[in-house]
Homo-oligomer: A and B are copies of this chain.
Amino acid sequence: MDLNSFLTSLGTSFIIFVVLMLLFSWLSSKPSNNVVYYPNRILKGLEPCEGPRSRNPFTWIREAVTSTEADVISMSGVDTAVYFVFLSTVLGILVLSGLVLLPALVPVAATDDSVGLTQTTGNGNFSSLEKLSMGNVKAKSPRLWAFVIGTYWVSFVTLYMLWKAYKHVSELRAAALMAPHVKPEQFAILVRDIPPVSEGQTRKEQVDSYFKMIHPDTFYRSMVVTDNKEVNKIWEELEGYRKKLARAEAIFAESKTTGKPEGTRPTNRVGFLGLIGKKVDTINYCNEKINELIPKLESEQKLTLKEKQQAAAIVFFNRRLAAASAAQSLHAQMLDTWTVTEAPEPRQVIWSNLKMKFYDRQIRQDIVYVIVALTIFFYMIPIGFISALTTLKNLRKLLPFLKPIVNQNAIKTVLEAYLPQIALIVFLALLPKFLLILSKAEGIPSESHAVRAASGKYFYFTVLNVFIGVTVGGTLFQTFKDIEKHPNNIVSLLGTGLPGNATFFLTFVALKFFVGYGLELSRLVPLVMYHLKRRFLCKTEAELKEAWAPGDLGYATRVPSDMLIIIIVLCYSVIAPIIIPFGVLYFGLGWLILRNQALKVYVPSYESYGRMWPHVHSRILAALIIYQITMLGYFAVKKFFYTPILIPLPVLSLMFGFVCSKKFYKSFQSTPLEVACRELKETPNMESIFRAYIPPCLSSDKVDDGEQFEDALSTQVSRTGSFV
Contact = CB atoms under 8 A, between A and B. Distances in A.
A198 to B, nearest CB: 15
Contacts of A664: 334-335
B672 A321 contact: no
B336 A213 contact: no
Contacts of A91: none
Contacts of A362: 662
B334 A214 contact: no
Interface in A563-577: none
Nearest to A327: B329
B335 A663 contact: yes
A707 interface: no
B672 A330 contact: yes
Contacts of A321: 214
A667 B328 contact: no
Interface string A669-703: 01111110100000000000000000000000000
A536 interface: no
A674 B214 contact: yes
Interface in A654-668: 659, 662-667
A219 to B, nearest CB: 12
Contacts of A665: 335
B359 A659 contact: yes
A358 B333 CA distance: 29
B174 A335 contact: no
A635 interface: no
A674 B333 contact: yes
Contacts of A358: 662
B174 A673 contact: no
Contact of A674 (B324, B328, B332, B663): B332
Given A214-B321, A321-B214, A325-B325, A330 B663 contact: no
Given A662-B358, A677-B214, A672 B328 contact: no
A338 interface: yes
Nearest to A362: B662
Contact of A329 (B213, B336, B359, B673): B673
A137 interface: no
Number of copies: 2
A340 to B, nearest CB: 9
A471 interface: no
A315 to B, nearest CB: 13
Interface in A133-179: 170-171, 174
A616 interface: no
A338 B667 CA distance: 13
A290 B499 CA distance: 81
Contacts of A662: 335-336, 358, 362
Contacts of A673: 214, 326, 329-331
A334 B667 CA distance: 8
A672 B325 contact: no
Most buried by B among A170, A214, A332: A214
B170 A334 contact: yes
Nearest to A334: B663
Nearest to A661: B335
Interface string A593-617: 0000000000000000000000000
Contact of A335 (B214, B331, B336, B666): B666
A667 B170 contact: no
Nearest to A665: B335
A329 B332 contact: no
Contacts of A675: 333
Interface string A204-226: 00000010011001000000000
26 contacts: A170-B333, A170-B334, A171-B333, A174-B333, A213-B677, A214-B673, A214-B674, A214-B677, A217-B217, A325-B326, A326-B673, A328-B328, A328-B330, A329-B673, A330-B666, A330-B667, A332-B672, A332-B674, A333-B667, A333-B674, A334-B664, A334-B667, A335-B667, A336-B662, A336-B663, A362-B662
